[in-house]
Structure 1
């Protein structure tokens, strides 16, 4: 009997426990296991090419030399080795190669697709990444898969090990800290109810078609519902050009018609899901994808109907099918009143080193985040900072008491609203004004992280993947700043 071809009903008929265990073993062996290696075997072996190529062609810049020296610390690789070490399967991309290529990606602001040819043709980058001349550079798809595989916890631990190494080298002391929040945008277009309904119907129709084709039915994607939804989108665009008083009412009316059409497609998907009996792992994945998409489309329909009924304040509103964790965040920026993504808290110490970061779903109030930042500082340095500067969004008398109680000597949080005479005098002291000026420097740090290190927009979807994206960007930034601090 070929166990991998057994139907689910045959398990129900009562095969032995041994057969079930054997089936499980076969299924696990069929999955490709990647053997972890630190370097390419050829890296430490001298080659003819190295002799013929002048050293100046692959000589590292002073900054990259310092970063390479920091990355040679073996404890830096331990989080990956500890979690993914195995001697079975085919060799994966070496750990040291992957770490250096990810640094270059954020350091040079390259996409995965642009990173590979850049490292291939640039001998200095190839040497920095520890890739032999004869060795092919890992392709973009492999790098993407590894980035997805390495969890945020691994990246965060790598960041912590780097920071502890820098503290031991006494490159900074952590006497001062400044804290602020920003938004890491999700890689989505500006969401509208009509746009989400249209995308939902397209995705749901595609999922239904894939299941029919998997079961041997000669089926091609039905475009009738998609065409109707597209016509409604075009109608909305025409209405919006008029700019009359009735524009909003007409748009909501068309959106209501789109919701009705989406419910028809949803009902069709529901009927198919009930009839479907998964027989293989592929069938279960297809059915799971169908149910997941149907659940999201159902939520989009409900929130669209709620807005049509006059309820515009919806909790946990879905703003993207591909990134359901993203949330609308209002930060009060001119020209960008609402951003869609995740809230990021950054804390920085002297020398421009980011000593702590935390990504949050939604838009939690800044005032409740101070305790978390103080704890991160204590975990790294073993004590509270001497001076701490935050903007007025963090102001709360309890936060000042919390900071002083933790051991902070000077706290700078400008008060919101009317101030007493004593408070005004306190905020006019030289120490408070100095810290207030110093705090504004974190705006430049956030700007640098967004422009240079990819924190303006995450190219990975979902909360956990965005955590990984953010952690890699901050890791690259800290390596670069550490190189500047090194003598």
Structure 2
């Protein structure tokens, strides 16, 4: 039976007299003082009958393991090693001298089960603790956006066509092996030819030679796609003798159909852009066949990021009060009012003062935010707005403008130390969970440092 939290702590070693250990000790006290955190996490971990089976990791254990992983940017293998080797990490997890550490796969499985919505709810609990401790009241906030990369390579068409060929060929080989006794699956292995054409496109000296390589690469990709469609039809009628084989066949067929849907679009846009020399909008392009949720984020002609834009609201204590993962690349000016309104969900009231980046500035946004009851609204770039319309004095405007710059430091800290520069988890749901996990770990560390001082 899985428990929500440990009923009795095991005999653990003493905390070390080091700054990092002291911070973890404060975070340990915070998590222990709030059983709600373990209960929220346990709802995502429990599957099937909760009264049967092995105990497994508790909800609180999963959250603690997640915080350790994100705060130190460890892989699952490194996390597993540290839980064996580090006295401080074991003390934080509450493991006794003779307690067994969960395996690497168990750590990964339980951490990945935590949903973004659950982690956001836990962050709200942490903010409630910060309010009760007098660290953050939510009366003065700063809002900005940034972009988080997906874990993909640069989306060149040649790379993606090569990905299509090798992934579909791999799936067809798996199907052939699975159905060897009952079906006859035949197809040509075109991976070597596709790889030569993909490399040829990279190394071509002229546009005409590159186009020639692309033509053959498209021909190979379409041939492999045709073979994959025939395999998918055969798998649809396949009736294996065991439930395990049936589930595996369904998984292989689902992967083939998923890739084929993206490959059709990819071949079409490549034909139009490379062969026919047409302009293709970024919204029509396939950015990745692995992370197909990825958006193209263009940042003021400076750089292009392939991932998702996130909107962050920070408080005077440097805690992140709200975080949203957005779809597409909406203009900052379309996010301002909603970001302010969401503070009412967090604190039950709106902030008294709001500082925003210049990209949020517009007369409509100023009027709507003021209409909500916010006293002072400062955009870092005025863009034709009068200071007297935004704040009650020039001194207040300058103070809020300088205060807004602090969110840049928070974003930098999140990216450098909590992995918010690039998400290494797969799927859009996991992307959102990864972002919320980074924010939760950040908030716990910032709150711990406030309480230590």
Does the C-alpha gap of structure 1 residues 248 and 425 become closer, same or farther in structure 2, counting only changes over 3 Å? farther
Conserved? CA contact 2:10–2:95, under 8 Å: no
Per-residue Cα deviation, 1:280-303 (whole angstroms, up to 9, x for no partner): 232222211221122122221122
Conserved? CA contact 2:15–2:91, under 8 Å: no
Partner of 1:367: 333
Q: CA deviation at 1:44?
A: 3.4
1:293-312 matches, within 5 Å, as 293-308=259-274, 309=276, 310-312=278-280
2:434 aligned to which of 459, 465, 469? 469
Conserved? CA contact 2:44–2:114, under 8 Å: no
Q: CA deviation at 1:424?
A: 9.5
CA distance in 1: counterparts of 2:293 and 2:61, whole angstroms = 31
CA distance in 2: counterparts of 1:168 and 1:425, whole angstroms = 34
Conserved? CA contact 2:357–2:404, under 8 Å: yes
CA distance in 1: counterparts of 2:85 and 2:248, whole angstroms = 40
Report the aligned-residue RMSD: 2.6
Residue range with higher mean Cα deviation, 185-194 or 280-289: 280-289
1:332 aligned to which of 294, 300, 310? 300
Per-residue Cα deviation, 1:252-304 (whole angstroms, up to 9, x for no partner): 34223211211111111112222331322322222112211221222211221
Partner of 1:269: 228
CA distance in 2: counterparts of 1:426 and 1:38, whole angstroms = 48
CA distance in 1: counterparts of 2:316 and 2:54, whole angstroms = 45
Residue range with higher mean Cα deviation, 262-271 or 294-303: 294-303
Partner of 2:42: 81
Conserved? CA contact 1:329–1:363, under 8 Å: yes
Conserved? CA contact 2:282–2:296, under 8 Å: no
User: For 2:268, what is the secondary structure of its paired residue?
Assistant: helix
CA distance in 1: counterparts of 2:339 and 2:440, whole angstroms = 18
1:123 aligned to which of 69, 87, 94? 87
CA distance in 1: counterparts of 2:328 and 2:229, whole angstroms = 31
Partner of 1:341: 307
Per-residue Cα deviation, 1:314-363 (whole angstroms, up to 9, x for no partner): 424221111110112111375xx111111111110011000000001221
| Pair member with larger Rg | 1
Conserved? CA contact 2:352–2:376, under 8 Å: yes
Instruction: Say whether residues 1:62 and 2:19 are aligned partners.
Output: no
User: For 1:486, what is the secondary structure of its paired residue?
Assistant: helix
CA distance in 2: counterparts of 1:155 and 1:126, whole angstroms = 23
Partner of 1:170: 134
Partner of 2:78: 114
CA distance in 2: counterparts of 1:283 and 1:168, whole angstroms = 54
Q: CA deviation at 1:144?
A: 1.7
CA distance in 2: counterparts of 1:117 and 1:221, whole angstroms = 45
User: For 1:330, what is the secondary structure of its paired residue?
Assistant: strand
1:397-412 matches, within 5 Å, as 397-412=363-378
CA distance in 2: counterparts of 1:57 and 1:219, whole angstroms = 64
Does the C-alpha gap of structure 1 residues 268 and 390 become closer, same or farther in structure 2, counting only changes over 3 Å? same
Partner of 1:291: 257
1:459 aligned to which of 421, 424, 428? 424
Q: CA deviation at 1:56?
A: 6.0
CA distance in 2: counterparts of 1:316 and 1:162, whole angstroms = 41
User: For 1:92, what is the secondary structure of its paired residue?
Assistant: coil
Unaligned runs of 5+ in 1: 1-34
Partner of 2:281: 313
Per-residue Cα deviation, 1:424-479 (whole angstroms, up to 9, x for no partner): 99799222222111111111110000011110111102211011111111101000
CA distance in 2: counterparts of 1:175 and 1:395, whole angstroms = 20
Conserved? CA contact 2:10–2:94, under 8 Å: no
Per-residue Cα deviation, 1:127-175 (whole angstroms, up to 9, x for no partner): 1101122222222221221222222111111111211222233221111
CA distance in 2: counterparts of 1:474 and 1:56, whole angstroms = 25
Conserved? CA contact 2:165–2:224, under 8 Å: yes
Residue range with higher mean Cα deviation, 432-441 or 401-410: 432-441
Partner of 2:143: 179
User: For 1:384, what is the secondary structure of its paired residue?
Assistant: coil
CA distance in 1: counterparts of 2:44 and 2:190, whole angstroms = 47
1:108-257 matches, within 5 Å, as 108-216=72-180, 224-239=189-204, 242=205, 247-257=206-216
CA distance in 2: counterparts of 1:359 and 1:56, whole angstroms = 37
Partner of 1:4: none
CA distance in 1: counterparts of 2:406 and 2:301, whole angstroms = 18
Q: CA deviation at 1:109?
A: 2.2
User: For 1:90, what is the secondary structure of its paired residue?
Assistant: coil
Does the C-alpha gap of structure 1 residues 447 and 344 become closer, same or farther in structure 2, counting only changes over 3 Å? same
User: For 1:457, what is the secondary structure of its paired residue?
Assistant: coil
2:318 aligned to which of 343, 352, 356? 352
CA distance in 2: counterparts of 1:193 and 1:470, whole angstroms = 28
Per-residue Cα deviation, 1:355-374 (whole angstroms, up to 9, x for no partner): 00000122111111112211
Does the C-alpha gap of structure 1 residues 65 and 302 become closer, same or farther in structure 2, counting only changes over 3 Å? same
Does the C-alpha gap of structure 1 residues 57 and 400 become closer, same or farther in structure 2, counting only changes over 3 Å? closer
Partner of 1:14: none
Q: CA deviation at 1:45?
A: 5.0
